[in-house]
Chains A and B, each alone.
Chain A
Amino acid sequence: MNEKVMMKGNEAIAEAAILAGCRHYFGYPITPQTEVAAYMAKKMPKIGGTFLQAESEIAAINMVYGVASTGKPAMTSSSSPGISLKCEGISYLAGADLPALIVNVQRGGPGLGGIQPSQSDYFLATRGPGHGDFHVFVFAPASVQEMADLTGRALHVAWKYRMPSMLLADGTMGQMMEPVVLPEAADAFGSDNPWAAVGTGMKRPHNVINSLYLAPEELERINFERFKRYELAEAEETLWEEYMMEDAEICVVSYGITARVSRNAIVEARSRGIKVGMIRPITLWPFPKAPLAAAAEKVKSFLCVELNMGQMIEDVELAIRCSRPVDLCCRVGGMIPAPDEVLAHIMKLAEGEKA
Chain B
Amino acid sequence: MVVFEKPKALTDAVLSYCPGCTHGIVHRLVAEAIDELGIEGKTVGIAPVGCSVMAYNFFSCDMIEASHGRAPAVATGVKRALPDNIVFAYQGDGDLASIGLCETVSTAARGENITIIFINNAIYGMTGGQMAPTSLVGQVTQTSPYGRDPKTQGYPIRICELLATLDGPAYLERVTVNSVKNVKRAKKAIKKAFQNQIDGKGFSLVEVLSACPTNWGMTPQKALEWIDEAMIPQYPLGVYRDKEA
Contacts and interface: CB of A to CB of B under 8 A. Distances in A.
A202 B43 CA distance: 10
Interface string B34-50: 00000011111010000
A199 B64 contact: no
A56 B67 CA distance: 15
Interface string A49-69: 010101110111011111111
A60 B66 CA distance: 13
A219 to B, nearest CB: 14
Given A26-B77, A88-B67, A212-B53, 16 more contacts: A50-B80, A55-B103, A62-B70, A62-B74, A62-B77, A65-B67, A65-B70, A65-B74, A66-B73, A67-B77, A69-B78, A199-B62, A200-B41, A200-B60, A206-B63, A208-B65
Interface residues of A, number: 39
5 contacts: A59-B70, A64-B77, A66-B75, A66-B78, A199-B61
A209 to B, nearest CB: 4
Contacts of B59: 206
Nearest to A203: B41
A264 to B, nearest CB: 44
Interface string B50-88: 000100110111111111001001111111111001000
Interface in A48-95: 50, 52, 54-56, 58-60, 62-70, 72, 74, 88-89, 92
Contacts of A56: 102
Nearest to B60: A206
B41 A69 contact: no
Contacts of B106: 54-55, 59
Nearest to A205: B60
A190 interface: no
A59 B65 contact: no
A24 B62 contact: no
For this complex, into which size category does the number of interface residues on chain B fall? 35 or more
B61 to A, nearest CB: 6
Contacts of A212: 53, 65
Contacts of A62: 66-67, 70, 73-74, 77, 103
A201 B63 contact: no
A56 B106 CA distance: 10
A212 B63 CA distance: 13
A26 B77 CA distance: 9
A199 B103 contact: no
A55 B102 contact: yes
A65 B70 CA distance: 10
B62 A66 contact: no
Contact of A208 (B62, B76, B78, B79): B62
A198 B62 contact: yes
A208 B47 CA distance: 10
A199 to B, nearest CB: 4
A207 B70 contact: no
Closest 5 CB pairs of A and B: A66-B77, A62-B73, A55-B106, A63-B77, A197-B62
A52 B102 CA distance: 16
Contacts of B61: 199-200, 206
Interface string A18-46: 00000010100000000000000000000
B81 A70 contact: yes
Contact of A210 (B11, B60, B65, B75): B65
Nearest to B75: A66
Interface in B72-126: 73-82, 85, 102-103, 105-106
A323 interface: no
Given A59-B102, A200-B62, A208-B63, A65 B41 contact: no
A63 to B, nearest CB: 4
A96 interface: yes
A207 B59 CA distance: 11
Contact of B74 (A55, A66, A201): A66
Contact of A89 (B67, B76, B78): B67
Contacts of B42: 199, 201
Contacts of B76: 52, 59, 63, 66
Contacts of B40: 200, 202
B65 A65 contact: no
Interface in A204-228: 206-212
Contact of A202 (B41, B73, B75, B103): B41
Interface in B142-171: none
